[in-house]
Amino acid sequence: MNVNIFETTIDIDESLVAESSDEIRDQIREYESGDRLDFDLRVTLPDGMTGTVMSAMADIPYGETRTYGELATALDTTPIAVGQACGRNPVPLVVPCHRVVGSDGSLKGYSAADGTATKRRLLDLEAEVCERARQTRLPTR
């Protein structure tokens, strides 16, 4: 299913989410408006590295980031493997792959529509909602 956020479209594999498409869209609208910090959706994680990385990404709190290297260390793998798994995330936004950044704070990539421009908007929203208190790794513009 396609969902609209910030004038762009993100493709979400709704077959992996237990709740209805309407519920997914409602929660994304609440997220976009800053009224929702966590998604209350039951996601079936794929097997293998993608599912393992998705589980780790799901634990990154709203308004915070982790580096590919930090996740790699925690999962005993490589930053490249983490990046590849992020790119295969079938439910971007719901499982927050946008919160994973390069070791220098750079955005690197984002598999959803408009790539890093969308990733930047998502992180900016979270930083704004958190009053920028917890965003520690993103470079200022």
Please indicate whether residue 97 is annotated as part of the active site: yes
> Choosing from 5, 57, 97, 122, which is the catalytic residue?
97
Cα gap 130→99, rounded to integer Å: 14
Cα gap 22→9, rounded to integer Å: 16
The residues that are catalytic are 97
